[in-house]
Amino acid sequence: MADETPDIEAIHRELQKQFNPASNRRFTSTATIEKKAEQVEDRLLPDDQRGRLPVTRSDYVIPENPFRVAWEREVRKFLSKLNHSKGHKITAPMIYEWCTGVNLVELAKAEGVDPTAWRGGARWGSANIHLRHINAILTDYFGKPRKTTIAGRHVGRAYDVPPEFRVSRKRPSTITLIVEREEGTLNP
């Protein structure tokens, strides 16, 4: 029976010889040395010297109305001038007249808008489109408007600005200004 048992040590040595990683006789390789893209590597900045990533979010790709962006800048300027210790009631015509210096009643008269026959909100003539943008921004900032009186006059769409409101803490509603805020270039 001793003759039939294989020599385990001899088998072990034979297997070690066959599968020795230092011996490349059994496995031949066609792999070559990796090619380097030296032109690219010469142009690259080190990671610590690279700037901020560009704006790539898919929700920033939406085209935006330039009037809305411009009016939101002006609304933010107006709100930054308000006294922070008191609450305020504001309207879109207030902001429009403050920014442009144009009295809306005189504008409507000059454009021939009949004050008794206006419908669909065309009360202020050519300023109407601008007032719509301002109202949309104010609605984003303060919610639904309400009817009230300001200085004894009835106002149809007034927005309540709470005390201690700071526009610098408020996130803008237009994408352009959101990006400027994230980059730290938005004023106010």
pTM of the model: 0.69
Q: What pLDDT score does 132 carry?
A: 93
What does the CA dihedral 74, 79, 83, 87 come to, rounded to 10 degrees?
A: 150
Among residues 143, 138, 137, the alpha carbon closest in space to that of 64 is found at 137
In angstroms, the Cα distances linking 187 to 20, 117, 124, 131, 171 are 70, 41, 29, 22, 12
Q: In the structure, what pLDDT confidence band is assigned to residue 174 with cuts at 50, 70 and 90?
A: very high
> Residue 42 has what pLDDT?
82
Q: Work out the pLDDT band at 108, boundaries 50, 70, 90.
A: confident
DSSP 167: G
pLDDT interval class at 3 (50, 70, 90):
low
Give the rounded percent of residues in the chain with a pLDDT score beyond 70. Answer: 87
What pLDDT, on the 0 to 100 scale, is given for residue 143? 96
Q: Which residues pair with 158 in a beta bridge?
A: 146
Residue range 37-67, pLDDT digits in tens? 777 788 888 889 888 877 777 766 678 899 9
pLDDT by residue (tens digit) across 161-171?
Answer: 999 999 999 99
Confidence at 73, pLDDT banded by 50, 70, 90: very high
Closest to 73 measured CA to CA, from 167, 162, 157: 167
Query: Is the model's pLDDT at 137 over the cut of 60?
Result: yes
More confident residue, 173 or 19: 173
| pLDDT of 121 over the 70 cut | no
Please indicate whether residue 188 or residue 173 has the higher confidence score (pLDDT).
Answer: 173
Write out the H or E segment, with its range, that includes residue 149. Answer: strand 146-150
Rounded-to-10 torsion of CA 52, 54, 57, 59: 120
